[in-house]
Structure 1
């Protein structure tokens, strides 16, 4: 089996991949993550997931490289990581009582053969109606400023949800493990 490389510095993705109990290393790719004019959210996450995986192929020959990227979509608008309290409050107020779709792109690149599998997984969160005080309490408690949509689904963020829907709950956290297992099996990786 070729060694696995997670093309990410995300602790969330690292923790998810560790669930598969396969040895892997991590390295952060350096790519331009800009949204191209006219590019759909689906095309964006697929392109970036593949770009992240391919970006490390020169320095990691003979590896299976996993790339992933995620965006949140509210209405027809892509919302990213808020980075600040004010932006997170604004995002959560806009999402109050609405549905937020998370699109997670996934790529598995075999740097030995050049074979690349690319896909995306949707997941939707239906938010509770939230007032400013509740949002601010949540933001002070969890500080989810590095999370698309301004909440951590693996933590207190779940208290903001009314319901969820999608084929793979791990995609909400940033690495769709069900689809990744399919890709790894296609590459002959023995999954425990």
Structure 2
């Protein structure tokens, strides 16, 4: 089993399932195209991440994932990358609802078969002051997270409401769907 990701959040999530796996950086350049539906983008990138490691791991189940969110204005956004962009994202998100799209792919490199899907999760942020946003970003450093918050940490204090079937999809790896996909390939989690 291989997790095609450099995300410490996905690593932590996959550990919850309690089976051994390796981690490898996927060989994919990520970009956001505002003309392509978010669910198609995350499915494509999740698949490309998993497939990119097929030659290096020719007899493995490889898990790839990707996440973006659509803000209330209909723009597709990803990771902010720095403090200033994180604060700007949160200022624009405050007091509004946004939908996160998380794509996941499980690729059987030995058999050449893959399953790819996506999940959605809606969050509504509270109204926030510039100072609250500034303090949050400096305390939690969410520059590597789509949406500029870490829901598993202090980011929960930014929320007014959350809606979805699997909260782990908001963190970056929908474990309910991953479990179903792995079972398709004969991996019994329980």
Shorter-chain TM range is: over 0.9
Match of 1:117 among 115, 118, 139: 115
- The separation in 2 between residues aligned to 1:62 and 1:164, in whole angstroms, is 39
Q: CA deviation at 1:36?
A: 4.0
Q: CA deviation at 1:38?
A: 2.4
2:22 corresponds to 1:25: yes
- The separation in 2 between residues aligned to 1:71 and 1:36, in whole angstroms, is 11
Match of 1:150 among 148, 151, 162: 148
Matches within 5 A, 1:124-139: 124-139=122-137
Normalising by structure 2, we get a TM-score of: 0.97
Q: Secondary structure at the match of 1:101?
A: strand
Residue 37 and residue 160 in structure 1: after superposition, are their counterparts in 2 closer, same or farther (change >3 A)? closer
Structure 1 stretches of 4+ with a deviation exceeding 6 A read: none
Residue 141 and residue 37 in structure 1: after superposition, are their counterparts in 2 closer, same or farther (change >3 A)? closer
What residue number does 1:73 align with? Answer: 70
Residue 46 and residue 126 in structure 1: after superposition, are their counterparts in 2 closer, same or farther (change >3 A)? same
Per mean C-alpha deviation after superposition, the further-off stretch among 97-106 and 34-43 is 34-43
- The separation in 1 between residues aligned to 2:184 and 2:19, in whole angstroms, is 16
Match of 2:54 among 54, 57, 64: 57
Q: CA deviation at 1:37?
A: 6.1
- The separation in 1 between residues aligned to 2:137 and 2:87, in whole angstroms, is 8
Normalising by structure 1, we get a TM-score of: 0.96
What residue number does 2:4 align with? Answer: 7
Instruction: Give me the CA root mean square deviation.
Output: 0.9
- The separation in 2 between residues aligned to 1:172 and 1:28, in whole angstroms, is 21
Q: Secondary structure at the match of 1:86?
A: helix
Give unmatched runs, 5+ long, in structure 2: none
Give unmatched runs, 5+ long, in structure 1: none
